[in-house]
Chain A
Amino acid sequence: MEFTEEQLKRYSRHIILPEVGGKGQKKISEAKVLIIGAGGLGCPVGYYLAAAGVGTIALVDNDNVELSNLQRQIAHSVKTIDVNKAESAKQTFEALNPDVNVIAVNERIGSKNILGLIRDYDIIVDGTDNFPTRYLINDACVMLKKPLVSGAILRFEGQVTTIMPGEGPCYRCLFEEPPPPGLVPSCQEAGVLGVLPGVIGALQATEVLKLIIGKGKPLKGNLLIYDALGVNFRKVRIPKNDNCPVCGKDPKIKDLTDLPEEYCSI
Chain B
Amino acid sequence: MQDIKVDKKLDIRGEVCPYTLVKSKLGIESIELGQTMEIILDYPEAADSIPKAMLNYGHSVLKTEKINSKEWVILVRKEVED
| Closest chain B CB from A9 CB (angstroms) | 7
Instruction: Verify A16–B22 contact, CB threshold 8 A.
Output: yes
Which chain B residues numbered 16 to 60 have a C-beta less than 8 Å away from chain A? 18-19, 21-23, 25-26, 29, 53, 56-58
User: Quick check: is A23 within 8 A (CB to CB) of the other chain?
Assistant: yes
User: Quick check: is A18 within 8 A (CB to CB) of the other chain?
Assistant: yes
User: Quick check: is A21 within 8 A (CB to CB) of the other chain?
Assistant: yes
**Residue in contact with A8 in the complex, picked from B23, B29, B82, CB distance below 8 Å:** B23
In the complex, what residue of chain A is closest to B24 when comparing beta carbons?
A16
6 A-B pairs with least C-beta separation = A22-B26, A12-B22, A15-B22, A21-B82, A22-B29, A16-B21
A12-B18 in contact given A21-B82, A23-B82 (Cβ < 8 Å) = yes
User: Quick check: is A3 within 8 A (CB to CB) of the other chain?
Assistant: yes
In the complex, what residue of chain B is closest to A19 when comparing beta carbons?
B82
**Residue in contact with B29 in the complex, picked from A9, A12, A13, A23, CB distance below 8 Å:** A23
The number of chain B residues with a CB under 8 A from chain A is 13
A16-B23 in contact given A21-B82, A23-B82 (Cβ < 8 Å) = no
Which chain A residues numbered 7 to 54 have a C-beta less than 8 Å away from chain B? 8-9, 12-13, 15-16, 18, 21-23
Instruction: Verify A22–B19 contact, CB threshold 8 A.
Output: no
User: With contacts A12-B22, A13-B18, A21-B26 known, what are 14 further pairs, Cβ within 8 A?
Assistant: A8-B22, A8-B23, A12-B19, A15-B25, A15-B26, A16-B18, A16-B25, A18-B56, A18-B58, A21-B25, A21-B82, A22-B25, A22-B82, A23-B82
